[in-house]
Amino acid sequence: MSKTFVGARLRGLRKERGLSQASLAGALEISPSYLNQIEHDVRPLSVPVLLKITDVFGVDTSFFNSQDETRLIAELREVTMDVDSPTPTEELSELVRDHAGFARAMVSLHRRYLNAADQLAQATDGRSDPHARGAISHPHEEVRDFFYERQNYFDEIDTAAEELTVRMRMHGADLRAAVENRLQTVHNVSIRRRVDLGDGVLHRFDPVSRELEISAHLSGGQQFFKMAAELAFLECGEAIDALVDAGGFTSDEARRLAKHGLANYYAAAVVLPYTQFHGAAEDFQYDIERLSAFFAVSYETVAHRLSTMQRPNLRGLPLSFVRVDRAGNMSKRQSSTGFHFSASGGTCPLWNVYETFAWPGKILVQLAEMPDGRNYLWVARTVERRAARFGQPSKTFAIGLGCELRHAHRLVYARGLDLANGDPTPIGAGCRVCERDNCAQRAFPPIGRSLDVDEHRSTVSPYHMK
- Helix or strand or coil: residue 259? helix
The pLDDT tens digits for 294-346 are 998 999 999 999 999 988 778 898 899 999 998 888 888 887 666 666 655 56
List pLDDT tens digits, range 138-171: 788 788 888 877 888 999 999 999 999 988 876 6
131 and 158 belong to one structural domain: no
Residues 103 and 171 placed together within one structural domain of the fold: no
Q: How far apart are CA 191 and CA 188, in angstroms?
A: 10
- Same domain, residue pair 262 and 142: yes
Please state, in angstroms and rounded to a whole number, the distance separating the CA atoms of residues 297 and 220.
10
CA-based nearest residue to 192, from 174, 206, 208, 171: 206
Query: 114 pLDDT exceeds 50?
Result: yes
Are 149 and 228 in the same domain? yes
Q: How confident is the model at residue 136 (pLDDT cuts 50, 70, 90)?
A: very low
| Residue 169 shares a structural domain with residue 266 | yes
Query: What does each C-alpha distance from 243 to 69, 100, 128, 219, 226 come to in angstroms?
Result: 23, 21, 32, 31, 21
Amino acid type, 56? V
Q: Is the pLDDT of residue 7 over 90?
A: no
- By mean pLDDT, which of 288-292, 336-340, 407-411, 458-462 is the weakest? 336-340
Share of the chain above pLDDT 90, in %: 37
Query: Span 404-429, mean pLDDT?
Result: 89
Least confident of 45-49, 208-212, 357-361, 362-366: 45-49
Give a yes or no: residue 372 inside a domain: no
CA 356/CA 1 separation, integer angstroms: 36
Answer whether residue 384 is part of any domain.
no
**Is residue 304 in a domain?**
no
Residue after which a domain boundary falls, among 213, 245, 271:
271
Give yes or no for a contact between 328 and 342, defined as CB atoms under 8 angstroms apart: no
Q: Could you count the other beta carbons within 10 Å of the beta carbon of residue 160? A: 18
Q: Is residue 235 part of a domain?
A: yes
Q: Mean of the pLDDT values across residues 421-440?
A: 80
The DSSP-derived string for 342-377 is -SSS---TTSHHHHGGGSTT--EEEEEE-TTS-EEE
**Together in a domain, 25 and 89:** no
CA proximity to 75, closest of 349, 344, 324, 425: 344
In the predicted structure, residue 283 carries a pLDDT above the cut 80 = yes
Give the three-state DSSP class for 99.
Answer: coil
57 and 73 in a common domain: no
pLDDT at 340 (0 to 100): 62
pLDDT at 18 over 60: yes
Q: Is the pLDDT of residue 411 over 90?
A: yes
pLDDT at 65: 58
Contact 81, 446 (CB under 8 A): yes
In whole angstroms, give the CA distance from residue 150 to residue 359: 33
Q: Is position 32 within any domain?
A: yes
Domain range for 133 is 68-137
- 133: confidence class by pLDDT, cuts 50, 70, 90: very low
- pLDDT (mean) for 264-281: 95
Task: Indicate whether 80 and 101 sit together in one domain.
Answer: yes
- Please tell me whether residues 156 and 253 are part of one structural domain: yes
- Beta partners for 330? 324
- Cα–Cα distances in angstroms (integers) from residue 239 to residues 57, 97, 234, 262, 437, in the given order: 22, 31, 11, 10, 48
> Do 216 and 231 sit in the same domain of this protein?
yes
Report the C-alpha gap between 272 and 296 in whole angstroms. Answer: 10
Among 137, 169, 188, which residue terminates a domain? Answer: 137
pLDDT at 348 over 70: yes
Global pTM exceeds 0.85: no
Whether residue 132 has pLDDT greater than 50: no
Rounded Cα gap, residues 94 and 99, in angstroms = 8
Out of 2-11, 302-311, 425-434, least confident range: 2-11
Contact 322, 332 (CB under 8 A): yes
CATH number at 204 reads 1.10.10.2910
Task: State which of 1-15, 208-222, 429-443 shows the largest mean pLDDT.
Answer: 208-222
Q: Which residue has the higher pLDDT, 226 or 76?
A: 226
What span, in angstroms and rounded, lies between the C-alpha atoms of 80 and 158? Answer: 37
pLDDT value of residue 221:
86
Greater pLDDT, 86 or 134: 86
Lowest mean pLDDT among 155-159, 353-357, 457-461: 457-461
Structural domains of the chain, count: 3
301 in helix, strand or coil?
A: helix
H helices of 128-219, in order, are 139-149, 155-169, 175-185
pLDDT, greater one: 420 or 401: 401
For residues 360 and 333, the answer to whether their CB atoms sit within 8 Å is no
Q: In terms of domains, do 261 and 173 share one? A: yes
- Asked if pLDDT for residue 112 goes beyond 70, the answer is yes
Judged on CB neighbours under 10 Å (0-12, 13-18, 19+), 4 is middle
**pLDDT confidence of 465, banded at 50, 70, 90?**
low
Whether residue 301 contacts residue 321, with contact meaning beta carbons closer than 8 Å, is answered with no
End-to-end CA distance of the chain: 37
Which residue, 271, 286, 305, sits at the end of a domain? 271
Query: For position 168, what pLDDT does the model report?
Result: 85
Residue 331 CB neighbour total at 10 angstroms:
11
The pLDDT value recorded for residue 5 is 45
CA distances from 52 to 6, 26, 27, 366, 395 (A): 15, 11, 8, 38, 50
The CATH number assigned to the domain holding 49 equals 1.10.260.40
Q: Are 439 and 349 in contact (CB under 8 A)?
A: no
Say yes or no: 261 and 203 in one domain.
yes
Q: What percent of the chain has pLDDT over 70?
A: 83
Single-letter amino acid code for the residue at 303: A
Cα angle vertex 387, ends 402, 179, to 5°? 70
- Pair 398, 372: CB distance under 8 Å: no
**Residue 237 resides in a domain:** yes
pLDDT interval class at 259 (50, 70, 90): very high
3-state secondary structure of 380: strand
